[in-house]
């Protein structure tokens, strides 16, 4: 139920020629005796407050320089991609305009349009009084459409 027992395999190579004798370091002897290790293993030491006062550590400066360079490269790449995308978009817009916006017609029936506008201004609450101007304007626009179709036709 408790799982398998762990096994530890140690291979000792003896190259010094004295058979049957294995040399171990003093720290191993101390650990076997249960005594604290006199030479503590090297651990990470954060920079002292003096290092912070005088600036960053050299390792931090190197890392920062690396990422600054990487950031600069990415910004340049982004600008190039943006330029390319803008050019492609402008080209696509131009193609669509050529394909679908072939001609823009000149304004038609401007005098009748102006009379409808003025009628609505003078009669804001009685718009039905403008029905004759609207009808005349609509007829004029229809005639212009038909004339344009027969010219293309």
pLDDT tens string 31-67? 778 787 666 555 666 666 665 555 567 888 889 999 9
Residue 17, sorted as left (phi over 0), alpha (psi -120 to 50) or beta, turns out to be left
Q: Which pLDDT value is given to residue 66?
A: 93
Q: Which pLDDT value is given to residue 139?
A: 96
- Determine contact, residues 116/134, Cβ cutoff 8 Å: yes
HSE of 6, CA atoms in CB hemisphere, 13 A = 1
Flag whether the pTM goes above 0.75: no
Residues 142, 104: Cα–Cα separation, whole Å: 17
Number of DSSP helices (H) and strands (E) in the chain, helices first: 5, 0
Phi, psi (rounded to 5 degrees) for 115 = -65, -35
Give the residue extent of every domain in the chain: 56-100, 110-152
Percentage, residues of the chain above pLDDT 90: 42
Q: Tokens at residue 153, please?
A: 């036709």
């Amino acid at each position: 139920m408790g799982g398998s027992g762990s096994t530890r395999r140690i291979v000792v190579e003896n190259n010094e020629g004295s058979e049957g004798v294995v040399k171990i370091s003093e720290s191993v002897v101390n650990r076997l005796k249960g005594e604290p290790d006199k030479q503590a293993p090297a651990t990470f030491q954060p920079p002292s407050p003096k290092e912070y006062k005088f600036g960053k550590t050299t390792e931090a400066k190197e890392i920062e320089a690396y990422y600054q360079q990487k950031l600069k490269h990415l910004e340049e790449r982004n600008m190039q991609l943006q330029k390319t995308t803008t050019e492609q978009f402008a080209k696509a817009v131009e193609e669509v305009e050529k394909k679908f916006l072939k001609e823009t017609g000149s304004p038609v029936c401007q005098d009748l349009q102006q009379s409808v506008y003025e009628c609505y201004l003078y009669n804001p609450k009685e718009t039905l009084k403008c029905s004759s101007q609207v009808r005349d304007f609509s007829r004029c626009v229809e005639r212009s459409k038909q004339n344009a179709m027969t010219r293309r036709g």
